[in-house]
Amino acid sequence: MQHVAIADFLRRRYVMMRSAFMNLRRIRRHVSVIPLAALCLAGWRQTGNGAAAQPGERIMPSYSPELIQTMRAALDEVMTKIPLDQATPGIKAHMAEFILKAAAEGQTSYDALLSAASDNIQTILSMLT
């Protein structure tokens, strides 16, 4: 009888732990999406209109594969200008944001995108000190 009680206890414990693990996975999934919420609000910030997009209307800009490669190259280059001990994922995200903003404003050359991020390196680094 005692073995049955132990087995039942272990089964309940397993179900409880599995449930907790699944909840943790759901939370992690949402945490990774939260930074993208700012992009969804980009249209509202530009137009001042909080209304939902019309069917078929693009909320986020679409970029060609070539421009995406150029933006990546500019990001990689600007990250080489940041001291290694300060080159965190957060700093990289800020630099990417400057590059994306410049591209959204029509700057599509490598030099313009690089300049858009490079001009803000000191501002971002000074926020950390």
Q: How far is CA 5 from CA 8, 11, 15, in A?
A: 5, 10, 15
How is the chain split into domains, by residue range?
1-48, 63-129
The reply to whether the predicted model has a pTM over 0.85 is no
- Of 40 and 2, which is predicted with more confidence? 2
Q: For 10-59, what is each residue's pLDDT tens digit?
A: 777 777 767 766 665 555 544 444 444 444 444 444 444 444 455 555 56
Average pLDDT over residues 94-117: 93
Average pLDDT, the chain: 75
For the chain, give the number of residues: 129
Residue 96 half-sphere exposure, CB side, CA atoms within 13 Å?
14
Q: Do 99 and 117 contact (CB within 8 A), yes or no?
A: yes
Q: Which amino acid is present at 77?
A: E
Burial state string for 25-37 with b = 16 or more CB within 10 A and e = fewer than 16: eeeeeeeeeeeee
